[in-house]
Amino acid sequence: MIQVSRHQTFPFWETMGMLTRGWMNAQSGDPQGGVAIMEEWIVKSLQRGSQLFFPMFHCMKAEAHMAMEDFDGALAAVSRGLTVAAATGETFCVPELRRLRGDLLARMGSPEAELELLAAHAGAVEEKSKSYELRAAMSLARFWRAAGKDDAAQDVLEKARGWFTEGQGTYDLRQADELRAQQGLVRQ
């Protein structure tokens, strides 16, 4: 994508490729380098006058900060993503931003974590975004399981996971199945 975009002078797609490269670097062991790439290309995109997909880019950046256990950086990326989403109306990944914030707040021991995870789940359900619903359900299940709410954890995870009949080898479905097995949340 990056090579073709540079050859054909498609700056938007070059930006998408570079931000994805940064995210991939962060996920495969170089979170600092990945964040640096993402920050550079977010600035370049702003200089070109584009904020298209910025809420998603900030999700990616938050995940990279989480990989470094930089919770303040991750919260800042989530907040920026939510601000851009509200300003631009590009709200498709708001449930994912809220899920990330809920996970961060849970890791930090904040009592607001559950409300944020519930809002993420409700937003995904409202948008009929099954992938984001599954991710929010996994986060809620982890949170509720840790709080001793096993039945609620089982219900939310089983409902979200049960919708999927295809794509069984995808990352999120594998994660959901591992979580179900680890936490004993598989219905008999």
Summarize the confidence of residues 37-54 as an average pLDDT.
88
Question: Tokens 């919770």 identify what position?
Answer: 71
Question: What's the pLDDT score for residue 187?
Answer: 52
Same domain for 37 and 1:
yes
Q: State percent of the chain over pLDDT 90.
A: 69
Which candidate, 133, 65, 157, places its Cα nearest to that of 104?
65
pLDDT band at 186 (very low <50, low <70, confident <90, very high): low
- CB neighbours of 37 closer than 8 A, spacing ≥ 6? 18, 19, 21, 22, 25
Does 161 score more than 70 pLDDT? yes
CATH of the domain at 61: 1.25.40
Same domain for 120 and 85:
no
* Burial readout 149-179 (b: 16 or more C-beta within 10 A, e: otherwise): beeebbbbbbebbeeeeeeeeeebbeebeeb
Domain count across the chain: 2
Q: Is residue 4 part of a domain?
A: yes
Indicate the range of 49-58, 120-129, 133-142 predicted with least confidence.
49-58
C-alpha angle 176-98-56 in degrees, rounded to nearest 5: 90
Summarize the confidence of residues 133-153 as an average pLDDT.
95
Determine the Cα–Cα distance for residues 99 and 105; give it in Å rounded to an integer.
Answer: 10
pLDDT band at 3 (very low <50, low <70, confident <90, very high): confident
Question: What's the pLDDT score for residue 91?
Answer: 93
Same domain for 71 and 14:
yes
Q: Is residue 104 part of a domain?
A: no
Question: What's the pLDDT score for residue 183?
Answer: 76
Q: State percent of the chain over pLDDT 70.
A: 98
> Which of the listed ranges 33-47, 123-137, 155-169 does the model predict with the highest average pLDDT?
123-137
Question: What's the pLDDT score for residue 188?
Answer: 43
Q: Quote the domain boundaries for residue 130.
A: 111-188
Q: Is residue 102 part of a domain?
A: no
187 DSSP assignment: -
8 DSSP assignment: H
Q: Residue 77 corresponds to which amino acid?
A: A
Question: What's the pLDDT score for residue 52?
Answer: 85
pLDDT tens for each residue of 70-101:
999 999 999 999 999 999 999 999 999 999 99
Same domain for 115 and 160:
yes
Question: What's the pLDDT score for residue 158?
Answer: 93
Q: Is residue 144 part of a domain?
A: yes
